[in-house]
Structure 1
Amino acid sequence: MEWKKELETNIKTAEGVKKALNWDLNAEDEEKLKNIIKRYPMSIPEYYLSLINPNDPEDPIKKLCIPSIKETDLSGSLDTSGEASNTVVKGLQHKYRQTGMILSTSKCAMYCRHCFRKRLVGQSDDEINNSFDDIINYINNHEEMTNVLISGGDSFMNSNEQIKHYLSELVKIDHLSFIRFGTRTPVVLPSRIYGDEELLEILSHYNKQKQIYVITHFNHPNEITKESVKAIDALKKQGIIVRNQTVLLKGINDNSETLATLLRKLTEIGAVPYYVFQCRPVTGVKNQFQVPFKTSCKIVDGARARLNGISKSFKYAMSHPTGKIEILGEIENNKILFKYHQTKYDKDQGRIMAIEVTDDQAWLPDVI
């Protein structure tokens, strides 16, 4: 398949980046880049690399795929939302009563620099499912679970055979209403979708038995291209519902006009905005991409003011260890209003909090 050949040509080294972008890196900077790549692997499809404007030192696509020296900052955490504590079977997390999440692979078509699973993506299979029977047994025994998210890594980096196996077993479970795939391939390697008729046939077949959703991840308007639109269209033609999750990222989409343009265009192509997430304080990510609450609230409010009802139907939220918390906005006396959207603990259901924050604060403590 052509997309597999494309993956084989991914740029993975400092030398490859220099050559592809015609960079004049000095020896010191090249050595720094090599050391970062050793810690956090780099892998960039040539398609995605072609979206970079090499004449723009602040190009957002470049920041999303090429390491920065800021990744050497070791502040933050490698598990910011308590995923380890929510693992019930190897490769299956059950944090929210209605949802199971399967870590199906550690591979991605591209290793995003803001990834919140840097601890495993491209590096370790320690948390990845290796006994699907155990996962199916757990789901069968928990009828409160109404949906499953197949994640990773990138769920569409599984083989078609593996995707078919997941779907063939999950559609048999009566209490599951729908199945979700988390994938960034429509954005970074769209040929994985529009160029693979077998994958589309598999999705179409099982979508007739249970509704399939694809949750994808556009972060900047420059990622919306004729190729990525072609991938979204291919999914929609199979009856797949496509939703988008965006992360608010410093230097990428941290102004109201850019964010509004992104969300408006996503609505136009049928990848309706689902969440805008606060960037997590991940090691190697925190000080590079996080935007303080006070600033981010103004950005999101400004974007919403530019959008119609469908485009602004998203929740602005953070994935906290205790649940998904909606960030409602700033009120008086340096306070931000927060509300639990999904909860790990029943006691937090619907809870609203007015929390005083500092000017540079971008996350909440684990206990609130």
Structure 2
Amino acid sequence: MSPSAGRRFRAYTAKHLDELTGRAGLDAHERLAVRAVATVLPFRVNSYVVDELIDWSAAPDDPIYRLTFPQPDMLPHADVARIADLLRADAPRKEVNQAANEVRARLNPHPAGQMALNIPKFGDDEPLSGVQHKYPETVLFFPKQGQTCHAYCTYCFRWAQFVGEPDLKMATDDIGALVGYLRRHPEVTSVLLTGGDPMIMGEGVLSRYVEPLLEVETLESIRVGTKALAYWPQRFVTDPDADETLRLFERVVASGKNLAFMAHFSHPNEMAPPLVQEAVRRIRGTGAVIRTQAPLIRTINDDSAVWETMWRAHVRHGMVPYYMFVERDTGPQDYFAVPLARAYEIFRGAYKNVSGLARTVRGPSMSATPGKVCVDGIAEVAGEKVFVLRLIQARDPDLVGRPFFAKYSESAAWLFDLEPALGATRFPYEAAPPDDPAELVGEA
């Protein structure tokens, strides 16, 4: 194992940026621009990422550096310049925060919109906070103590969870309310613990959330969405409560429920350290199933060879490739997004070269308001070039698996950039206007 394997966790935040970006060879002007971006979007990294994953001789072009450090062009130049001027003038913190909040308010559509969209009701129409129930069979739960991460990804669509604005956070510590909701809704068979990162919690806290779920008979699976395997594998190997955490995983499996460990790996370099491989081995030894997923991110993994290498590594170590996501339309999407046409070619270029064991992966998939929309292909139908699309998950289960079509576009990067094809006036998930009898010609 590496020398840092058994070290205590150490986080680096915005106050360390000058020192760290200096290691990347950035000059004073560039370092100031990075600090300006970090006043708007959250920055946090740790000693493992800094010492073991980033190749500082290749920074700032190293993919893990770009994955974790703010880039000056992630925000509009005028906004960065304005905040940089304030920092240069040593303006009062209140003035800098006000400017940062104004920029955040323009990052649209804002992820806070999910809060009102998906919160279920419980009891006498009382909102059940910290919970999303978007699909009939799946509920997302945001544990209060899990609303941070071992390190932040620069592309994260949940950046609003980390900027210190309580009104933007989705979180709760009321596991009893969730259990009650699940008993009232037996159609829910899967709960996803998410955040933030639930694995930031110690075993004692994590157990308080997980163990009550084992008593819900209708629940078939518990999922844990986490980046900890990539950013802090010590959590499962050398941390003081690593063994106790694995025993908790064993209890979930012994209860007869599936424990799905939803691991976020964004680049094959994250799999290289032996410590990660040991963590994977130990987690799998509990009976948990590790499924891997990540978004397609411009300048970091927008290459078929990167995804092929990553999926092969995952299969070799007994993990199940699950999703390639399209970068969501929040935060710095314009900086990281890959057009859907290119995303499909990157996916296909990797998919065609891996064995069937890796072809469990689905993508490129957009986790949008109507559901998870997959780009299945690009084709010519009735003389029109189209995207072939399919809902692999939907608010309306009747729409799942039914192909539909959108006009081909070289530049479209998200579902809402697309237009119906083949004479259709709307997509299958869109309600027809009361006075519009038009049929959904663009649905297969």
TM-score by length of 2: 0.78
Deviation at 1:192, TM superposition (A): 0.8
Q: Which residue of 1 aligns with 2:82?
A: none
Deviation at 1:103, TM superposition (A): 1.1
1:67 and 2:70 are equivalent in the alignment? yes
Report if the CA contact (8 A) 1:78-1:117 is conserved: no
Report if the CA contact (8 A) 2:229-2:263 is conserved: yes
Q: Which residue of 1 aligns with 2:337?
A: 290
What amino acid sits opposite 1:95 in the alignment?
K
1:6 and 2:54 are equivalent in the alignment? no
| Equivalent residue runs for 1:124-273 within 5 Å | 124-125=165-166, 126-195=169-238, 196-209=242-255, 210-225=257-272, 226-273=274-321
Q: Which residue of 2 aligns with 1:43?
A: 44
Whole-angstrom distance in 2 between the partners of 1:4 and 1:152: 26
Q: Which deviations, in whole Å up to 9, do the C-alpha atoms of 1:125-182 show, x marking residues without a partner?
A: 5320132221111111100001101111001112211211122100000000111111
Instruction: Go from structure 1 to structure 2 and tell me whether the alpha carbon gap of 1:351 and 1:194 turns closer, same or farther (over 3 Å shift).
Output: same
Q: Which residue of 2 aligns with 1:96?
A: 135
Whole-angstrom distance in 1 between the partners of 2:35 and 2:17: 11
Whole-angstrom distance in 1 between the partners of 2:279 and 2:162: 23
Report if the CA contact (8 A) 1:156-1:185 is conserved: yes
Whole-angstrom distance in 1 between the partners of 2:215 and 2:338: 43
* Secondary structure of the structure 2 residue equivalent to 1:186: helix
Deviation at 1:290, TM superposition (A): 0.8
| Equivalent residue runs for 1:106-125 within 5 Å | 106-121=147-162, 123-125=164-166
* Secondary structure of the structure 1 residue equivalent to 2:278: helix
Q: Which residue of 1 aligns with 2:438?
A: none
1:319 and 2:335 are equivalent in the alignment? no
Number of residues of Structure 1 aligned to a counterpart in Structure 2 = 365
Q: Which runs of 5+ in 1 are unaligned?
A: none
Q: Mean Cα displacement is larger for which, 307-316 or 158-167?
A: 158-167
Question: Identity over aligned residues, as a percent?
Answer: 25
Deviation at 1:289, TM superposition (A): 1.2
Q: Mean Cα displacement is larger for which, 41-50 or 166-175?
A: 41-50
* Secondary structure of the structure 2 residue equivalent to 1:38: helix
Whole-angstrom distance in 2 between the partners of 1:3 and 1:39: 32
Higher relative contact order (CA 8 A, sep 6+): 1
Whole-angstrom distance in 1 between the partners of 2:292 and 2:113: 20
Q: Which runs of 5+ in 2 are unaligned?
A: 77-105, 121-127, 418-425, 428-444
Whole-angstrom distance in 1 between the partners of 2:32 and 2:349: 41
Report if the CA contact (8 A) 1:277-1:318 is conserved: yes
Whole-angstrom distance in 1 between the partners of 2:245 and 2:328: 32
Instruction: Go from structure 1 to structure 2 and tell me whether the alpha carbon gap of 1:4 and 1:182 turns closer, same or farther (over 3 Å shift).
Output: farther
* Secondary structure of the structure 1 residue equivalent to 2:374: strand
What amino acid sits opposite 2:221 in the alignment?
F
What amino acid sits opposite 2:312 in the alignment?
R
1:84 and 2:126 are equivalent in the alignment? no
Deviation at 1:55, TM superposition (A): 2.4
Deviation at 1:357, TM superposition (A): 3.4
